[in-house]
Amino acid sequence: MIFSFLANKLNSQKKSLRERIKNDPYHRFNSLEEISIATELGVKIEIDKASVDDLLRLPGISIHQARSLVELINSGVEILSVEDMSAALKIPLQRLKPLEKILAFSYYDPESALIPQRININFATLEELKGISPISDLMAKEIVEHRLTKGNFKDLADLQKKLKINGKLASEIMHYLYF
């Protein structure tokens, strides 16, 4: 009787956890059991496209490590395997191996016209900014001048506010920039 009660309670808790993972795309995994459930549900974290928030879903990944990995990827470092991720983050491979089933590693040809090259707006030259088709020559100059006189941009919303960029243009340029 007690065994049946405990089994039902555990099954109920697992169903509840499964529903939370299924319904919350930002659920932070706390255990390998949660990773297994997420994998069963088809959840994958594509490392080359992951944001800091995506990486923070992984148990044992700190904010510093997540930011570092995103910055490395944005600067052109290719992370093609869990071994690459281990080396980049200076985390023992044994700690990352159990997470491998939820991680996806893809290669994107940097010369492909289908994938815009992203540049760090806070370090881009005037010529690099002019090379981004949605950015006019005037806007490129405004970006550089603002950077030199008032400092770096924090994010897309900060850029949009400071340069009074409309939503349509912000939507177009966000695929070419990172901060």
What's the pLDDT tens digit per position in 114-144? 556 788 999 999 999 999 989 999 999 999 9
Please give the pLDDT value at position 74: 82
| Cα radius of gyration rounded to whole Å, the chain | 21
Is the pLDDT at 38 greater than 80, yes or no? yes
% of residues, the chain, pLDDT over 90: 66
Q: Does 59 or 1 have the greater pLDDT score?
A: 59
Distance CA 29, CA 7 (A): 23
| Rounded CA separation 124/140 (Å) | 10
Mean pLDDT score, 146-170: 93
pLDDT of residue 8 exceeding 70: no
